[in-house]
Structure 1
């Protein structure tokens, strides 16, 4: 009872405005060192919550019954983090994607942490709205729900209506949130400084840096103006995509603590009965979620790091020929950006995985920051092969991100792997999205959607970087690999939206260009291997492609291709024609 009374208690204190704009570990440390009574009060609450938990862990070990009680202890830890409030809920969620920090036994339980708390009083919420927007609530909104429709760890949401007629969602941040978060971050960072070196972790850097990374992201999440800008950027990325929607932001009714955005009239993917009632194909919407997630990572580099069931909505729509459903993303507080090198290296890693090039894959892990440049790769390469060796084999349909995460978790304590902050968010995004897909359809296989998308991207070769990676797939040890081309085409055909002929036209344009000289030579060598024309691979390709080669469409695309290419470039591919034209 005492713990329950104390768990959210914090004396109301002012905090320097400068520290609110961004996370500043030094400023926070200076502030609370001058107010030790605040730190002592909060530390006593945290200590009280963890005291019994720690004692029971020690008792289990002494009784040699630790393994038997691990599920119980993991659930207990999840409840403790929930009791301690917003900072610890967010910290637990972040730790759920850090197998380099947390035992695999606890990871599953931490993923169950719900970002939900009881709502705070309406009077406080309306007072915050009025103060932030500079006018009474009745002058901002024609209608506002009398109670919040949702309450999370950082704020709560009301349904409203503007005087201009638009239905909106109004997010209001919890009062006294900044001092709560900053004090918790100060104490967590203090503990990391003093006790981090005692933990058996292969981090390659100070544990306080991980705390600071967490602090930076948390401060971004409590800045609603930043969330609004994220939503607009996300919407701009998908402006030409009719099956992905982001809500409009109403800036005249928004501030750092209040965010007013378009009301999304959709259905949660987990509401099976409502989906059936509206005739929404849940599998089609999940497929959209997977493809849009890959687009965020590999095309735009700007990705939603928290795609849990409360942040994704299915929208009613007519059936699409590509088998995709319509969906909307909401809550853009947790987003991150990948630079061009990281996006390219991710594609490299996929290519090297397809080719089973584990030496190159280990180098990719260095580039991505999972391994330090001075890491000894000799023992790591066989370990990677043992973890990833069957992914492209007979068990490909059993592949899932959660399995790979669990396997890597087992390597973390034996090899110097670490999880960079950005990839902790990527892992969280992928594992959460996969978990949502499996909750909708237990037989769903994310690889059935992801592989065709990646194969299609490689075959289309829209950029020099992707074309170079396609060459790495098709040419191995100086030889053209027909089976890899066949596999890529077959995989891409599993995507209902894949149209072979435009892709083939792009391929011809590439072959006839100066850039395609190397691949032209490799193709000619492969076709005339052993001094005879190789017809078998061409026959297999024909059988694979024949269903899509409708005469009318082929003629149209062939005409376009010939218009696009000059005779000189065509002659470069057909040397005999070049000789004839010079006679």
Structure 2
């Protein structure tokens, strides 16, 4: 009860902020808290101009760090907010005035229970970058290593926790009074957002993500992830190798160097492809401020708070779908969705094929350098409601990451399609992972897995058959033995059928 009252009070304050920016349309569309929306309209003067997405972005920025982060999270959900609004939300600037260097020093000393001077020979008290969750200071260790030190804002955890509780309460309210919107999984959206923020607020987890990405790509030419200084990394402080380079979007600074923008674009495409398809673990926040180019032309990412992960099944689905689109085999694209379970089995394959064709033809008919795989996925997600497709958050995050990557690519060289530069890698991966030999290898692996599980099946069958049934107190050992045999034979038959299907 107290939580609901507090949430209502906070919701009224938020609604008034939305009203001042003429950005109440999300609450109106969801059909929740109508009295609050009406009161907010009456009580607040509208001062905003611009497109809906711009007005919503301005309101979220005024509401503070949690809502900026929420807006960025919703920017990868065009199925929830619409493509136009999602595009504007992706431009939300996660910047705040820095807190004092003395507070940063105090946080570092409390984290490691040591004086700052014992950790660093030199520490710049002026932050070089400041965002909603943390800020970055340059420093130098006693070994002479030049490092960047990321420090969480004071009391940031409590502020986020309070706002996330409100978002969860609102999501539960939406699912309760608007059952039609359950398909979009609003509670899961908030939980995913909560998990993402919690990861960002434990800098050990961000450091682990950077370490994993570095390990995955250590043999990739032209791409290098900064090394984590684990001795000086904790929950509220992360220290990593400092990168000296130029932002990838600062073409004027890149031109005098020995490498061409097209070379950088090719390296970017290859790095992104390797992360998504080869490793299934990719940097999901690759806006220009998070990607630098060193003097020798090496790409160096920073800020590993938002990462994406795709399992083998999802990567295979993506590969089969993209091959189908590029071959204009729209029936195969449709079948891939049914095989993956993304479209309910009772839906028409023919109708879905028709919808797929309506997406593919307008995009694939363009000149090569104008084809956008990100827009292809975006249009695909737009038909989810018609065919009762459940949202796939991991694919939505990938689509938005691809959109940002394509924008960076166009800035580097608008005459080249970045994905065409990665085509040799794509073709090699498809042959190795989706060709006839790969499919046979997968079948053999599935068969071996089934055989390894056979003893467990038999053990469970024996246990099930030996259990004494509840009866009138009489125990027939012959009947029990027969029942055990029949259960055992039945399960063996099931295993044989499964093995035969794999072969």
TM-score, normalised by the number of residues in structure 2? 0.76
CA contact (8 A) 2:23 2:55 kept: no
Change (3 A) 1:373 1:147: farther
Change (3 A) 1:470 1:443: farther
Change (3 A) 1:326 1:53: same
> Do structure 1's residue 115 and structure 2's residue 94 form an aligned pair?
yes
Change (3 A) 1:345 1:467: same
Where 2:432 maps in the other structure, the secondary structure is coil
Residues 115-172 of structure 1, C-alpha deviation per residue, up to 9 Å, x if partnerless? 2222122222211111012112122111111210001121000010001100000000
Where 2:147 maps in the other structure, the secondary structure is strand
Cα drift, residue 84 of structure 1: 1.7
> Do structure 1's residue 267 and structure 2's residue 246 form an aligned pair?
yes
> Do structure 1's residue 353 and structure 2's residue 325 form an aligned pair?
yes
Matched residue, 1:444: 416
Distance in 2, Cα, partners of 1:227 & 1:373: 39
Change (3 A) 1:466 1:164: farther
Residues 326-351 of structure 1, C-alpha deviation per residue, up to 9 Å, x if partnerless? 21111112113221212222222222
Distance in 1, Cα, partners of 2:346 & 2:362: 28
Distance in 2, Cα, partners of 1:200 & 1:412: 16
Distance in 1, Cα, partners of 2:339 & 2:142: 53
Matched residue, 1:134: 113
Distance in 2, Cα, partners of 1:366 & 1:218: 33
CA contact (8 A) 1:202 1:417 kept: no
> Do structure 1's residue 425 and structure 2's residue 397 form an aligned pair?
yes
Distance in 2, Cα, partners of 1:93 & 1:408: 21
Cα drift, residue 356 of structure 1: 2.8
Residues 495-554 of structure 1, C-alpha deviation per residue, up to 9 Å, x if partnerless? xxxxxxxxxxxxxxx9xxxxxxxxxxxxxxxxxxxxxxxxxxxxxxxxxxxxxxxxxxxx
Change (3 A) 1:200 1:441: farther
Where 1:306 maps in the other structure, the secondary structure is coil
Distance in 2, Cα, partners of 1:394 & 1:431: 17
Question: What is the RMSD of the two structures over their aligned residues, measured on CA atoms?
Answer: 3.0
Matched residue, 1:371: 343
Q: Give the unaligned 5+ runs of structure 1.
A: 1-32, 62-68, 318-324, 472-509, 511-583
Matched residue, 1:48: 16
Change (3 A) 1:467 1:151: farther
The correspondence of residues 86-125 of structure 1 with structure 2, limited to 5 A, is 86-125=65-104
CA contact (8 A) 2:347 2:387 kept: no
Change (3 A) 1:367 1:247: farther
Where 1:428 maps in the other structure, the secondary structure is helix
Matched residue, 1:232: 211
Distance in 1, Cα, partners of 2:237 & 2:76: 29
Residues 222-265 of structure 1, C-alpha deviation per residue, up to 9 Å, x if partnerless? 22101111111111111211311011111111101100000011
> Do structure 1's residue 151 and structure 2's residue 119 form an aligned pair?
no
Where 1:244 maps in the other structure, the secondary structure is coil
Cα drift, residue 394 of structure 1: 5.9
Matched residue, 1:492: none
Distance in 2, Cα, partners of 1:36 & 1:202: 21
Distance in 2, Cα, partners of 1:208 & 1:221: 20
Matched residue, 1:560: none
Distance in 2, Cα, partners of 1:170 & 1:268: 19
Q: Give the unaligned 5+ runs of structure 2.
A: 30-47, 442-503
